[in-house]
Amino acid sequence: MYKNISRLKVARIILLAIEFLLGAALFSLSFFADVFKITFEMTPYIFLYFFVFLIIVEITYSFFSFTLIDFSITRNYLNISNIIGYDINEVINKSNIGLLYYSNDYKIMWTSSLFETRNLFLLGDDLPTWLPALQPLFEPSNKDTTLYGINIKNVYYSVTKLEQSNLLIFRDTDELFNSAKDRESQQIVIFYLLVDNYSDVRSALNDTDFAQLESAFRRTVTDYLKVYNMSIFQTSLGRFFGIGAYQDYEQIRKDGFSITNKVKHVKGGLTEHSFTISMGFGIKSYLVSESNELAREALSLAQQRGGDQVGVKAFSRGVEFYGGTNLGIKNTGFLPKIRSFGVQLAEVIRNHSNILIMGHRISDLDSIGASLGVYAFCKNIKSNVKVVYDENSTEIKTNIAIKTIFPKAESNAIFVTPRGALENNLKDTLLILVDFHSYSYALNRDIIDKSKNVIVIDHHRRQDLAIENLLLDFIDPLSSSTGEIVTHMIRQRDYKLSTMTSKIATFLFAGILLDTNHFRSSETSTRTFEACAILKEMDADLDRADDFLRDDYKEFELKTKLMLNVETPHFGIYIIHGNEEDVFEVSVLAKAAQEVLALKEVNSVFAIGRTSQTQVGISARSNNQFNVQLILEKLMLEKTILDKGGTSGGRFSAAGGQINDISVEELKILLCKVLTLYLADAKRKE
């Protein structure tokens, strides 16, 4: 194309020269006619004929020039399209991306429409002369194929050179920057919806009633999401996949994901049964595959926290939960699941020569009792089994109980210190974690990090930053305690455990008493009483278990100190706290909160006190009207606490946490702020 343009330039010069010579000759004849005695008269007609002749020549030249240029442009367009493809070329012509094609001698041969719309007519120009800033792209030593911040008429571009194609791509970075918010609003959001109790409702209803309920449910969900421009598709029984834009997701979030409550009021036929749902959203990722994985993880966590809630996971961030303001979905499939888990666990135990069992830091009776129960389960299969025990990271009452019930020789046979555990070859050891599933609650993090084969048994709601890469896990937030889970697992075995002693049964019973507050907590169920009956059959000493929980005078005095400082930021919500100089055991905070909760017109209690010189603890209890775990989760997301480092865990009616380098007063102020913001969200939805 450039060669044709060059030829036209030469032809234009020659034609102008000829026209000039003809005009000069004509006027010379008229001027010198008398001198050379030539008969010639310059009449108006001769001038008119000459002018018409010039017009015809110019029209003819222009016609052939335009034809040649049009042919060259078409041929050049075809060449460019062959390089980048017709479809891509058309898309680029309609976008804010510009393409520039140059010859081997750096002459500009073709540009996309972006340049013309911005008054940049560059055909035939020398590329380095027009834009010297691009020179580094063409230097042999330069390995970068993209330059940033290229200024063209006060607009900044990034310019990318495509190797072996003589093609430059100009991207308007000003436009990209100005439309950043628009692009975020159009990010793809993936979500999953799962019916928590699909199987239970299906088995409870006849075909007609169930079909009516399912149809009404689908219509309710579809109509709700249609308002927010979301699409949803059923992928299997009780499971749905959805997709939408981030701006529409934001509207659903502002609505509070009310669909989780709407579906509870959907009935079919004359039945009173209804569905509950869990949802998982994956947001703020430009990759659809990544959003899909985020949504799956969020749904899994929502389910493991008891269901009937929404989990939202953003790229490179933790999971936020919405809803979860009921006590969880009662699942009739517990016994088959725990039986299956017990079979799998036994098989894994057989494949390992060494087994370690470890509870959480500041171990209580449920943590130690459940660990001893798992110890008996493992000991019946393998002989080399130990429970990791750190006297300095165990509650005083639990320490006293261990020393009282186990003679030194028996204690040495059962327990091992964290240092002693680390002396083993942990790569070949099976590590079973009991009553926790998050790194922040580990008795010893090094033991987990050095172990390749890890199993978790827990009853707390699933937390973000949970321990990963597990061989097996059994986490049931509907169980009252981990001791309850372990007791049923032992019973579901086909044989009686000879290693299940009266002492271990007593510890398991004491752990259940602790976590249920002597069967007063909302998590207490028929399964809880069944587990206690099983332990009684195994010769648990109920009186001794109760003695483990009795307070001494010093503990009574500390609880009294806490109760002297009371505030009620909202009706039915009480905050009790200690002074800065007093140090409390975590169990004292929990018991004080529980005792205040027993008073009239108290719905929730938060006990705050220093647990060490560098940490302040908080223990929360509710009478099932408020989700105290949700409040503590929001508290841990406060910037002050995020900067200092804080952890929390628990379940609907009982939760706790610890924060580093903060004062009791600071924590109390932050708690009041969070209560004001999220108390309505935490209130139980009927």
**How confident is the prediction for the chain on average, in pLDDT?**
83
- pLDDT at 503 exceeding the cut of 80: yes
pLDDT bucket at 619, cuts 50 / 70 / 90 = very high
Tracing tokens 């986490």 back to the chain, one arrives at: 475
Give alpha helix (H) positions in 85-206: 86-93, 113-117, 127-130, 173-178, 180-185, 198-204
- Alpha-carbon distance values, 567 to 97, 580, 669 (Å): 62, 16, 11
∠ CA 189-191-193, rounded to 5°: 160
Query: Does residue 221 contact residue 275 with C-beta atoms inside 8 Å?
Result: no
Q: Considering only residues 338 and 200, tell me which one the structure prediction assigns the higher pLDDT.
A: 338
More confident residue, 647 or 24: 647
CA–CA dist 244, 229 (Å, integer): 7
Average pLDDT (488-515) is 86
Q: Where is average pLDDT lowest: 286-300, 312-326, 525-539?
A: 312-326
What pLDDT score was predicted for residue 578?
92
Q: Are 189 and 291 in contact (CB under 8 A)?
A: yes
- Name the residue among 443, 446, 520, 523 with its Cα closest to residue 483: 523
In this predicted structure, the answer to whether residue 7 has a pLDDT above a threshold of 70 is no
pLDDT of 684 strictly over 50: yes
Cα separation, 503 vs 545, whole angstroms: 10
- Higher-confidence residue of 442 and 56: namely 442
Return the pLDDT at 653: 83
Confidence of residue 47 (pLDDT cuts 50, 70, 90): low
pLDDT tops 50 at residue 149: yes
Distance separating alpha carbons of residues 423 and 434, to the nearest angstrom: 21
pLDDT range class, residue 83, cuts 50, 70, 90: very low
Q: Are strands 429-434 and 453-458 parallel, antiparallel or unpaired?
A: parallel
Q: How confident is the model at residue 85 (pLDDT cuts 50, 70, 90)?
A: very low
Residue 309 has pLDDT above 60, yes or no: yes
- The pLDDT of residue 496 is above 50: yes
The mean pLDDT of 488-501, rounded to a whole number, is: 78
- Per-residue pLDDT, averaged over 233-242, amounts to 88
Tell which residue, 370, 411, 404, has the closest CA to residue 514: 370
- Over the stretch 415-446, which tens digit does the pLDDT of each residue have? 999 999 998 888 889 999 999 998 888 999 99
Q: What is the pTM of this model?
A: 0.56
Residue type, 576: I
Q: d(Cα 209, Cα 204) in Å, to the nearest integer? A: 10
Q: What is the pLDDT of residue 664?
A: 94
* pLDDT, tens only, 649-664: 887 888 888 998 899 9
Highest mean pLDDT among 55-59, 273-277, 377-381 belongs to 377-381
Task: Name residue, tokens 């020569």.
Answer: 353
The C-alpha atoms of residue 575 and residue 562 are separated, in whole angstroms, by 10
Q: How far apart are the C-alpha atoms of 96 and 387, rounded to whole Å?
A: 65
Query: Cα-flanking dihedrals φ and ψ of residue 151, to 5°?
Result: -95, 120
Q: pLDDT exceeding 90 applies to what percent of the chain? A: 36
- 59: exposed, middle or buried (C-beta count within 10 Å: 0-12, 13-18, 19+)? exposed
The CA distance from 341 to 570, in Å, is 44
End-to-end C-alpha distance for the chain, whole angstroms: 76
Token pair 């380098």 in the structure block, residue: 661
**For 98, phi and psi rounded to 5 degrees?**
-110, 145
